[in-house]
Every structure is written in C-alpha cells, then in structure tokens.
Amino acid sequence: MLKIADLVKRYGTGEPVLKNLDLTVEGTSIVAVIGSSGAGKSTLLRCINRLVEPTSGSIELNGVELTSLRGKDLRMARRRIGMVFQGFNLVDRLTVMENVQSGRLGYISTWAAITRRYPKDDIARAYELMERVGIAQYANTRADALSGGERQRVGVVRALMQRPEILLADEPTASLDPRTSEAIMGLMRDLAHELDLPIIINIHNVTEAKEYTDRIVGMRYGRIIFDDAPAALDEDAMEAIYAGSPGADRAAGAQAA
C-alpha cells in the first residue's frame, strides 16, 4: 500500500506546488492522475520516488516511511519503485538487453554491471518480460534503432526488472502516436493485473485515463479535487479540474476524440 499524508512541496518562498495532499493506493489498482500543466502531477510522482524532496508530509510504501530515508536505505527503497518516463530515458548506443538490465543495477555488483556479466536469472527474466511485451526479437538491437512504441516497451521492461512494489509512469504515452499510445496503456493495464502491481500514471489524455485505468485522481493547483471511478468523471468534474486552465482545450479534445 502507498499512503501519502499531508504532503507539501514548496520551491523557495513561492506558493507550494503540492498543498497538504493525501492519497492512498492499494492492491493492483491503476490510478490515473490528471490535471492541467502546473497542477503538480509530475511533482507528486517525483516526490514518491524521492527524485524531488518533499518539503513536509509523509509517504509510506508497504510500511516503510520513504521521506526519512537517506543514503543506502534510500537507494534500497528506490529499488522497490519502478519508473517509466515520457522521454524513455534509454541509452541509445546500448542494446535493448543492456538497457533492460539497467533495471538491475541496484541488485548486482558494479563489476558485473561494467563488464555486462548479468546473472543468468536476470537474463532469463529479461527475455520473459521482453517476450511478454513483444520486443524479444530486439534483444541485441541498439535502442536508437527502435520506434517510439518499442522504446517505451523497453522502458516498461526495465522498470519491471526491478521487481517493484509500485510502478510510476510520468506521461508514458505523450511522445507516441494515438494507436501506439493505446497499445502502451493496454499493456500497462494488463501487466498490472498479471503482476499484482499497483500503477500510478500521470496522463493528459482523459479518454485513455477513462478507458484503461480503475481510478482517476484530478489535481488543480496542487490539490486533489476529484478522486473516483472513471465513470464518475462527468462534465462538472472536468470543469472543476480544467476550467480556465491552459490544458482545458487539450483535455476536452482528447475526451471527445
């Protein structure tokens, strides 16, 4: 279980980006976080994995308080939190297998990583996951030779190689065409249920959020103002989340598409 309580993130002396935010994610639910640009969606995800330091509040994952961890304890905790990025974050000159194995860097020795002497169990696990997402044939292909959808599949497998207890996805389909975007969302939904893995997805496309997730959290100005099943996201809720914001037209267009 992920339990966030009274979370605040402030940069300098300005208005907080996150304002006393509370959120609980249990089981294998897939949670979409929506809202206009600047609502705090990405900051929320980055506070969870401590890429951004919270100003105050509590973030607890399966009984471990993440905000108090430092050094080795923090590195150990991060192994339990998978992350899928909008920009893929692959090393282009490395092969798919090598990029996938980077998800195990927190588990193997520095020497094994440098010499690429990956444990046999890790190689077997990588092939299993790559086969599942349809990229096993590219195991020895350089990452820069892949399409956007294939690159994002590599990013998903890399995160799953950590054997995470939760998966965070920050705009994982923003750089993809509509058809590929839907394929990635469907894949993540299926993997969540197959692996008993909770997923939090920061996403702009409301139509995809409603179709592929179990729960939608709507943010505005650093606060959660909607938290319910996708079917409950009606016009009034959309108005509350997006009205007058720069992302309003984009979100409305995505919903109508």
The mean pLDDT value for 241-247 works out to 70
Which pLDDT score is estimated for 250?
Answer: 45
- What's the whole-model pTM score? 0.90
3-state helix, strand, coil in the chain (%, to 5): 40, 20, 35
pLDDT band of residue 6 (cuts 50, 70, 90) is very high
At residue 156, what is the residue type?
A: V
| pLDDT tens digits for range 34-73 | 999 899 999 999 999 999 999 999 999 999 999 999 999 9
| pLDDT tens digits for range 175-191 | 899 999 999 999 999 99
Which pLDDT score is estimated for 105?
Answer: 86
Q: Is pLDDT of 110 > 80?
A: no
Radius of gyration of the chain (CA): 18
Which among 152, 165, 211 is positioned nearest to 48, based on CA atoms? 165
CATH topology assigned to domain 2-255: Rossmann fold (3.40.50)
At residue 111, what is the residue type?
A: W
250, two tokens = 């984009």
Domain ranges of the chain: 2-255
Which among 127, 34, 113, 48 is positioned nearest to 80, based on CA atoms? 48
The mean pLDDT value for 147-158 works out to 96
At residue 189, what is the residue type?
A: R
Q: Is pLDDT of 155 > 50?
A: yes
Which pLDDT score is estimated for 224?
Answer: 97
Which pLDDT score is estimated for 256?
Answer: 41
The mean pLDDT value for 4-8 works out to 98
Q: Is pLDDT of 158 > 70?
A: yes
Q: Which helix (H) or strand (E) holds 145?
A: none
* Three-state secondary-structure class, residue 78: helix
Exposure string of 18-53, with b = 16+ CB inside 10 Å and e = fewer, is bbebebebeeeebbbbbbbebbbbbbbbbbbbbebe
Which pLDDT score is estimated for 245?
Answer: 55
Cross-strand bridge partners of residue 219 = 224
Q: Is pLDDT of 150 > 50?
A: yes
* Cα–chain center distance at 79: 14
Compute the distance between CA of residue 185 and CA of residue 229 in angstroms, rounded to an integer.
17
Which pLDDT score is estimated for 244?
Answer: 62
Percent of the chain with pLDDT over 90: 80
